[in-house]
Every structure is written in structure tokens, then in C-alpha cells.
Chains A and B, each alone.
Chain A
């Protein structure tokens, strides 16, 4: 024994039924005392074979599927898919449609980040208070979605060539109210968590991702920006007219969980700015170009990507001139971001692993599809 106490490593299953895995995801962690010495990710519990199913349905019929991949940001997923189809078929979207899409996507980013920030705080142990506060604000945005699209979570609002319906008259005052309420809420969250000693102690230096690791694992979204890399599809490869709006990319310092958290908070501020500009300059005119219901895009392939709340969301479509896609593939940001989980958790404690998982902000519907 040489005077050193050795403990036996044992395997502990974090998930598939665990309060902090945000769905049915499982980390098979080998722990030595509290220390994680190996972590294996097990996924597929929520696999619904969406990509294969989509090959049997028409292009329009596939839009509801995209709602159910990342169910916390259905608007962004609709948008990504519609952009891919439009690219494939060469369809132009009218300016009003684009502006509505931007507003919706940014509102969705607010709602999704509310959830991300709240759930992350819950994972650090702030017992439900931040998540409840975040839900309170998220409700207001979901109300807007309900008024506009008829659904709160799975909106199915974007259409190929624009959006499904025009905005209702009560839309603008509701959004203005959200814009008024949101900056104080972000300040409130900052006051509750950003400067909190316990929160800093729990998240600072936990799950550090160096810029090299982040790029090598092809991460995107707040994960990448937290590591100090200025990358945002909205700036780098603008879509829907994002180039007209003035906003900044927040980037972190060390790439730890804390940086990812403050980056998300700041992204919410920037989203409020974008919505403000888009709403002030909302053009008139048609909100959609008419597209045949049984769309048959020309032979070819297209990849469209957007900056979803979780990172680069890409849709890859191959058309064989049939009414349904020959190949339908999603590049889910959660799934790719998760690939760095092992590097971030091994060496930390079990509690750290939970915090790291929370800071990735996964949606299992998107990972397993």
C-alpha cells in the first residue's frame, strides 16, 4: 500500500433518468471517489429516425419534423430547413418575410437562452429560483408565438418562401413589451448569478475549452464564443438580411463554463437590439412568395446554415427532382458540441460534470433526432 489510501474506481450512470441530463441522455462515468476518471456518452434513447422519415414526405410536410428536433427552438429549426429548401429551389423571400423571420429567430434565441441559463443555474444548485425567473420571461415570448403561429413550443411557422401567416395587430405591442422587460431581467439574472461567489466558484475554470480544442471539435455557438473565438454565422455568412442589423458578438476569456454563461446572457442583450432594429424597420409588402405545394426542386444539393441558439444549425438536402428530398441531413449543434464533453469532464468531479453538461446546453431531441 506504500502509505497511500487507494480507493476502488466504480462506474456510475448519470442518466438516462437523472434530473440533470435534460432529457434521456446518459453519461457512463467511471469515478474514483468524487473524481471522474473516464466518461462515456451513451445516446440514442430519443432516436425517432427523423432523417429517414423525411425522405418519404414532401418538402412542406417536413417542416413540422424540424420543430421536433430542437424542441426548445423550433423557429430556428424551421428557418434553417426553409433556407435550405429555398437555396435548393432558388426561391427568393420578400423583405417583410425576412424581417419577420429575423424577429422570430431572435425571439426564439431569447426563449431558448432563458431556458439554457435557468437550467444551467439549476445544475449548479441554485434551487429553481433562476429557472423560474427565466421561465417567467420565456412565457411572454411563447405567448407571442402562440398569437402569431397558434402554437407555443412546436410553432411550425416558417414556410418555404416566407412565413405561414402575417403578423397579427397585437404582435407589435407584445414584442415591445418583451423588449422593455428583457434588459431588466438580464440585469436581474446578472445580479443574482454573475457576481455570486458560489456561482463563480462552481463555474469558473470548470470545463475549460481551449480555442484549439474548440475548433478541433468543430464546436459552434456560445461554446465556441466562450473560448474567445469570434465566430457567428449571422456575421460570417449572413442570411435573412442579418447584415443590415447592428449587433456585436460576445466572446469569453478562458472558455470555461462561466464564460459560456456570460456569453449567453450578453447574446440575449444583442438579440434584444436586433429585434428592436428589425421591428422599427419592418417593411410592408408580401410576407411570402407563393410556392407550389408539391415542390419539386431541380436536381442538386444544398446546405444552408443558421446561427441557432445552440450554434451552427445546418440542413443538407439532396434533390432528385422528386416531391420529397432524396437525402435529408441535419447538422445538430448540440450533438457536435457534446463531442467535447469527455475532454471537459475527465479530471473534474461529478459535480463539475453536471455543470459542464449544463453549460453545453444540450437538447436531446436534437442529438438523437
Chain B
């Protein structure tokens, strides 16, 4: 950060970490250490909740997920509750709490009861390692990227429990699908993140942001393919619509959520947004330079930049949800194994080579821009070549039917009428 205007006074809102550390220091003088220790966590949680989760649920939950998709679908979306319909999620929550949470008689009651709780916990835990600003991270652990991956693999168990315990065939279908999806998509996901890790040489999220700040380039420019693959994989893991086969509404009713009702269902639904937001925040931190914006963060609070970028990525989730049809389960599997995984390996190979070259050049600053240009071109070529290699021929699909003037019998393809 540039020294201009920067201070570590508590009133400097560009870094809210100053405020919280001022509070904690003052408290440290009067309270025992254990209490301050717990208070620090509470302050961090409350701050990130007030700053991010609550506005996100209101703005993203309504304006993104519903109003924006409403615009895409040429309808209005919720606009009655509160100003501009902003209080709709609160009204929904009240409605859901009032509703009876039914449990089928043949269900595994304990597992069905625990599943939504287990689903919510990781969504909250994920935010602990995401840096909102320079000092604004609740737990700045050195392996935060691994932490994020570890915690984000937990909700799968919860969704599986939900699907299996309901004793409903549709739910079981959903559970089976989500488990097989996770097996397939976990490997390309980790492989692509490995690309970013090799490039930046750190598995700390703060370290990655610092890398982007130091070299004045975002990881996405050097690793464009990694972002694309990661985005697809994370959509698959989060059950977002183009690949939401675990709760495919038109096929298996609501998948693992079929038998859930009331607030138990509401927890799953609300945390879907939570996970997508966390994934957006993670993409922002790893690929888009986190809270930095090429020096702009000296004037604009870093956390605002972070939130803006996160919403931008979240918009991509909404956009794909609003436009794309859903793939079939076996197609998704094939896509992960035949397409994403090899591309991830190629990407890792390329970035490792570059890292070697870079190391030999003593981490020259200019070289990373060369890598960026090379990688963008290489990614495009790689995707094209690999797609052709796998037998992708778009020109063989005519999008208009043949036209004939006279009614008659069967007209074989290729015959003029």
C-alpha cells in the first residue's frame, strides 16, 4: 500500500482492522486474556457478518438471485416487501420458520435432523480465512488455501446425509449423483488451484494477495485456464444450475431436498447462496488479487474492492444459472475426466515450466507479463486443440431443419426435395 493517506488510526475506514485492533487493545487492559481471545473471534465474526453476509443475503439474495434473474427472464421478481423488495429474504425466513418441518415416518430421523446443521457450519467456517482487507482476516493461517479446500469438502457429506436419510428414491438419486460428482470434480479443482499455488509459491491466501500486489498482475491473467476450470468445477460442487444434477428440478424433483420442508429446507437454500458467495470470495482472493486493485486500494477501502469483485464473480454464477441448460450426469463425469482433468494437468505443466524459467531469471518482474501473454494464447489454443482431439465438431450440427414444399414420404438426409 502506498503511504499516502495511510494511517493506522482507528478512524481510518480503509482498513477496519485498525478499528477492531484498537478496541481489542483497549479491552486487553481491563479484561483477562481468555475473554479478549474469544472477543476477538466474536468481533471478527460480527464484523464480517455485518459487512458482508447480511448485505449479501439482502442484496445478492434479492437483487442478484431473484431480481437480476427476473430481468433475464423478462419478469419483475420480488418488489413488494420493504423498499424495492429488499426485505423479501426476511419475509421468506419468517414464513419458513412458521412452516412445519415434516419428517417422513420411514426416514432416518437423527441423520435427517443433523444434515442441515452440518450443512450450515462449513459455510460460516469458510469465511475465517478470506482476507477482506490488509489486516482484515479472522484467522491468517499459513495453509489457508488448504483450509478452504478442506472445509468446502464437508458440505458434501451433509448433502449426502440429507439425500440418504429421507428414504425417498428421488433423494437417493440426488445423493448418489452428488457423491459421484464430487469424486469426479474434486481432482481437476485441486489440480487447477495447484497451478495458482505453483505460480505464486504460497498456499496462504494473504500471501496470494500480496503476490498480486507485488507484481501488479492478477493470477487470472497468468492462469486464465485455471480460473475457467475452477469456476466450472466449483459450480459442479456447489450444485449451481448449469450443473445442478443433484437437485435437478425437472428430473428428480428436488434431489436430496425433496423431503425437506420448513426451516430445514430454508437452511439448505440459504446456505446455497452462502457457499456460492464464499466460492466467489475465494476466486476473488486467489485469481483476482483480493482486496487490491493496482494501487486503487490506497484511496478506496480494500474491503469495498473485495466485495465488488466478489459480487462480480457471483454475477457470473447468476448469469450461467439464468441462461444455460443442465448437463446429464454421465456427460458431466465425462467432461470432468476427459476434458477438465487433462487440461488441468497441461496447465500445471506449463506453469511449472514457467516457474522454473522465472526462478532462473531471479523472479524478474517483467517476465510475468510475458508469461501472461503466452498463457492466454496457449490456453485458447489448448482448449481448442483438446476439444477437437476429443471429437468436438460444432459445424456438423445443422441448427435449421430442411424445408420441403410438398407433402410426401421419408426424405433421406442429403436428398434434395
Q: Spell out A's residues near B (CB within 8 Å).
A: 10, 12-13, 18-20, 33-34, 121-129, 132-133, 136, 190, 192-202, 204, 211, 215, 225, 227-232, 235-236, 248-254, 258-259, 262-263, 266, 349-352, 354, 358
Contact = CB atoms under 8 A, between A and B. Distances in A.
B407 to A, nearest CB: 4
Contact of A34 (B75, B326, B330, B403): B330
The 10 closest A-B pairs by CB, nearest first: A125-B326, A132-B73, A235-B407, A248-B403, A250-B401, A236-B407, A126-B325, A194-B399, A124-B325, A211-B410
B355 interface: no
A219 B271 CA distance: 47
B83 interface: no
B248 A12 contact: no
Contacts of B72: 129
Interface string B368-406: 000000000000000000000000001001111111111
Nearest to A222: B401
Contacts of B353: none
Contacts of B324: 125-126, 196, 198
Contact of B409 (A202, A230, A248, A351): A230
Contacts of A193: 325
Given A229-B411, A230-B407, A354-B250, A251 B322 contact: no
11 contacts: A18-B253, A125-B251, A129-B69, A129-B73, A129-B322, A133-B74, A198-B325, A202-B326, A229-B410, A230-B409, A352-B328
A351 B402 contact: no
Given A133-B73, A230-B409, A248 B323 contact: no
A228 B411 CA distance: 6
Nearest to A131: B73
A211 B394 CA distance: 25
Interface string B51-89: 000000000000000000100111100000000000000
A258 B401 CA distance: 10
B211 to A, nearest CB: 35
B366 interface: no
A129 B403 contact: no
Contacts of B394: 195, 197
Nearest to A254: B413
A105 B294 CA distance: 62
B93 interface: no
A198 B410 contact: no
B323 A124 contact: no
B407 A253 contact: no
B249 to A, nearest CB: 6
